[in-house]
Amino acid sequence: MQARLKYGTTEETIDVADENLLAVAEPPKVTVAEDEAAVLTKALAEPVGTPRLRELARGKKNATIIISDQTRPTPSRRILPFLLEELRAGGIEEGQVSVVIATGLHVLPDQATLARMLGEDLLSRVRVVVHNADAPDLVDVGHTSNGTPVKVNPVVAGADLLVSVSTVDPHHLYGWSGGAKNIIPGVSSRETVNVHHGRTRTHRGGVDRLEGNIFREDAEEAARMVGLDFILNVILNEQRMIIGAAAGDVVAGHRQLVAMARRLVSVPVGRPADILVVGVGGPPRDADFWQAQGKGMLSTAHAVRDGGIMILVAGCEKGLGPEAFSRYMHGTMQEIHRWHQEENYSVPLSKAFDTAAFTERCGLYLVTPGLEPGDLPHFAVKFFPSVKEALEAAQRELGRDAKVLVVPDGSRVVVSLAS
């Protein structure tokens, strides 16, 4: 059987013999039953758990809309006009609207990136604010019941009406992306994110796990504290077209869309693979190893057996990612373990430790054109120029009977080991 993987500007098709193939785990091809305008209009007209946005807008002096940054596929450029029209119907004009880019701890977008994300027209019509997790003017709004200090962007904290736009996809920590995740980590301080994410040392999240998930629950409590009034979340198909949307309350609206997403993207494979080939669907999520590690490696690590091999496929044209992450990734295994034990929690250190721990459990083959061996000098990884060559090498190492699982986009699928 053939399977197609996108990475960077490349598309590659690989052949896996039927007797070796465990599955090609990808969502079914979904065509758009309605055009995007109809999907978005219906969601805004029928919000879950809140009045319509235009009703919430009446009498308000300003509105702030939080949107995903350049590392996410959310088509904010196509969504924002619908929100602006809804706000206008409630009496809030474009000059009263701020758009805040939820960067979390990611690299901040420059002006050219913002233009690609939103277009020059939108950039000229609304105020755009890039969140900086290290800015000195972040606003303290208290602590969650779990003890997370909630410090957020001042434009977010000062909003008369606060709206959030994001995409719902499987997530290895929060169960699913979207909803409150635009608050923590999206527009929060580095301290907030480190305390919140730092619970990975004592608690677990998990793909498709919402109930009893401390990361999801903590973020949703923070969203209530900050005063998130309304969300508009979407589901995208492989072509990044909107095939589903839900609006309204940060929890109720999110859960409605998760129920739809779960039906679309859950794929049972029965057992862990000997060889797992996983990509992240190409840009924007494969721009660096930081993103590919979270959206590809961590989201599917459970689907490869101990002693098996993962082939991670990503363009990584921007290298490893943030400087702090790169610094940790240049450490030896002994140093990374020691840093993890002795240093205060940070997301870059945690991601480096998770990568090291995985390579101690399984083989890791990289098809990452933007990286070279010197980027990971002490990791037991192997680099290959193509997926085909990496797969052939893995089959030589584990034997021609090795069972292969192919996940073309680990960011869009829930791989279940149930039969």
The pLDDT assigned to 384 comes to 98
- The conformation of residue 150, written as its DSSP 8-state character, comes to E
pLDDT band at 419; cut points 50, 70, 90: low
Q: Is the pLDDT of residue 121 over 60?
A: yes
The pLDDT > 70 percentage for the chain reads: 99
Q: What's the whole-number mean pLDDT along residues 194-221? A: 93
Range 36-264 has CATH code 3.90.1310.10? no
Kindly report, as residue ranges, where domains of CATH 3.90.226.30 are found in the chain. 2-25+269-416
What's the one-letter identity of residue 211?
E
For the four alpha carbons of 293, 402, 305 and 377, in that order, the dihedral sign comes to negative
On whether the CB atoms of residues 6 and 279 are closer than 8 A, the answer is: yes
Kindly report, as residue ranges, where domains of CATH 3.40.50.11440 are found in the chain. 36-264
Among residues 121, 60, 131, which one has the least CA distance to residue 99?
131
Among residues 368, 371, 360, 284, which one has the least CA distance to residue 326?
371
The pLDDT assigned to 41 comes to 97
Q: Is the pLDDT of residue 363 over 80?
A: yes
Provide the token pair at 278: 């996983």
On whether the CB atoms of residues 22 and 403 are closer than 8 A, the answer is: yes
Q: Which CATH class is domain 2-25+269-416?
A: alpha beta
On whether the CB atoms of residues 273 and 16 are closer than 8 A, the answer is: no
Q: What's the whole-number mean pLDDT along residues 22-36? A: 80
Q: Is the pLDDT of residue 118 over 60?
A: yes
Provide the token pair at 148: 């997370």
pLDDT digits (tens, 9 = 90+) for 381-395: 999 999 999 999 999
Phi, psi of 56, deg, nearest 5: -65, -30
Q: What's the whole-number mean pLDDT along residues 310-335? A: 96
- The conformation of residue 134, written as its DSSP 8-state character, comes to T
The pLDDT assigned to 34 comes to 72
Length of the chain: 419
Give, rounded to a whole angstrom, the gap between the first and last alpha carbons of the chain. 21
Among residues 86, 13, 96, 79, which one has the least CA distance to residue 50?
86
Determine the Cα angle at 223 with ends 263 and 253, to 5°: 30
Provide the token pair at 10: 């490349």
The pLDDT assigned to 205 comes to 87
Q: Is the pLDDT of residue 378 over 90?
A: yes
Number of H helices, E strands in the chain: 14, 20
The pLDDT assigned to 33 comes to 61
Among residues 21, 17, 10, which one has the least CA distance to residue 277?
21
347 burial (CB, 10 Å; 0-12 / 13-18 / 19+) is buried
Average of per-residue pLDDT values in the chain: 94
pLDDT digits (tens, 9 = 90+) for 224-268: 999 999 999 999 988 889 999 999 999 999 999 999 999 888 888
For 230, the enclosing helix (H) or strand (E) is strand 230-236
